[in-house]
């Protein structure tokens, strides 16, 4: 077993995808806070939903919606500048909300997209929102999802890993944020009741490998660093541990061992986002 973690986890450029509604309020607060703390460049983006037929039938309405989007982004830009954040604004037109965001992230080599989460249903898919789910599925980078009322982490960061390469990437990103934000970090691995003793041993080894690697990188400064191995349904355990440990940021990998196609983020990550009491960073 490799004793090193994959070197992933930069946050030099963030893209905030906002729609100007209350659903994006938490994402706006988290993006501004993260950009300020990590000294990141921030791209503020709005997508005006339209199509050629609509533009030809109601050009004035499209122009009004574009102007409103520009005013909203300017309001955010002034907030960012007041916080000392280097930023720019981007307005795109499209028939859907997710594709222009993904394209902008690719063009501008974004490290992380920040998006909102709806709170209209107990079903994970509807809580995440179709556009946000598709952004996660197609994005070339990590995605941070925040519900209304969210803020940057102030108490503890929780990272869930299954020992895969994406799990390592999640741990590196979480450790970087924990150091920047000066917060304690909990590393969690979850096993199922029907898994073999060999898998349980492997889970314990995974957590210890991560802790050892992070301790070496921190040159022994391991205060606030802890590991946990819990048993149960992974998404439910992750959410329960976050609540119990007071974590206000959860970090997970997008696919882990499942190998799902990229259109969907995978059931564990999706359910965690849908039910988490705090923002969730999905590492791609």
| Residue 140 shares a structural domain with residue 161 | no
pLDDT along the chain (284 residues), means of 10: 49 94 92 94 95 78 92 96 97 92 96 82 53 88 91 94 90 91 95 85 93 79 83 94 97 60 60 91 90
- Looking at residue 9, what is its pLDDT? 59
Domain that holds residue 115: 13-147
- Looking at residue 223, what is its pLDDT? 63
What are the C-alpha distances in Å from 154 to residues 182, 248, 267? 9, 7, 28
Last residue of one domain, picked from the residues 108, 126, 147: 147
- Looking at residue 255, what is its pLDDT? 61
| Residue 116 shares a structural domain with residue 167 | no
| Residue 63 shares a structural domain with residue 98 | yes
Q: Which ranges of 140-284 would DSSP assign to H, the alpha helix? A: 165-181, 197-217, 234-245, 267-275
Residue 115 placed within a domain: yes
Structurally, the chain folds into a number of domains equal to 2
Q: Give the Cβ contact number of residue 274 at 10 Å.
A: 25
- Looking at residue 256, what is its pLDDT? 40
| Residue 38 shares a structural domain with residue 99 | yes
For residue 106, give the CATH number of its domain: 3.40.50.620
Residue 113 placed within a domain: yes
- Looking at residue 258, what is its pLDDT? 36
Angle 190-273-77 from CA coordinates, rounded to 5°: 135
- Looking at residue 266, what is its pLDDT? 57
| Residue 140 shares a structural domain with residue 199 | no
Residue 221 placed within a domain: yes
| Residue 124 shares a structural domain with residue 210 | no
- Looking at residue 60, what is its pLDDT? 86
Of 4, 10, 5, 2, residue with least CA distance to 176: 10
- Report pTM: 0.87
| Residue 250 shares a structural domain with residue 128 | no
Last residue of one domain, picked from the residues 105, 120, 147: 147
- Looking at residue 174, what is its pLDDT? 94
| Residue 134 shares a structural domain with residue 37 | yes
* β-strand pairing of 280-283 with 142-147: antiparallel
**Alpha carbons within 13 A on the beta-carbon side of 231:** 9
All residues at 6 or more sequence positions from 218 whose CB lies less than 8 Å from its CB, including other chains:
179, 225
| Residue 28 shares a structural domain with residue 142 | yes
| Residue 222 shares a structural domain with residue 114 | no
């Amino acid at each position: 077993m490799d004793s090193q973690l994959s070197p992933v986890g930069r946050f030099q450029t963030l893209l905030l995808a906002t729609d100007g509604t209350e659903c994006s309020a938490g994402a706006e607060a988290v993006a501004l806070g993260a950009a300020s703390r990590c000294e990141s460049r921030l791209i503020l983006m709005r997508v005006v939903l339209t199509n050629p037929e609509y533009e030809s039938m109601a050009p004035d309405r499209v122009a009004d919606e574009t102007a409103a989007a520009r005013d909203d982004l300017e309001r955010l830009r002034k907030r960012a500048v007041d916080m000392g954040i280097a930023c720019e604004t981007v307005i795109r037109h499209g028939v859907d909300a997710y594709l222009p965001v993904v394209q902008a992230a690719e063009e501008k080599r974004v490290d992380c997209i920040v998006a909102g989460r709806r709170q209209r249903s107990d079903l994970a898919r509807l809580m995440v929102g179709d556009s946000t789910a598709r952004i996660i599925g197609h994005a070339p980078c990590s995605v941070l999802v925040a519900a209304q009322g969210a803020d940057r982490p102030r108490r503890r960061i929780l990272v869930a890993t299954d020992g895969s390469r994406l799990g390592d990437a999640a741990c590196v990103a979480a450790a970087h944020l924990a150091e920047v934000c000066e917060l304690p970090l909990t590393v969690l691995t979850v096993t199922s009741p029907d898994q073999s003793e060999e898998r349980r041993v492997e889970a314990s080894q995974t957590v210890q490998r991560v802790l050892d690697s992070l301790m070496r990188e921190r040159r022994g400064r391991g205060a606030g660093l802890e590991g946990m191995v819990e048993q149960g349904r992974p998404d439910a355990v992750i959410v329960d541990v976050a609540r119990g440990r007071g974590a206000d940021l959860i970090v997970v990998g997008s696919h882990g061992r499942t190998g799902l196609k990229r259109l969907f983020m995978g059931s564990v990550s999706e359910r965690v986002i849908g039910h988490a009491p705090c923002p969730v960073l999905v590492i791609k």
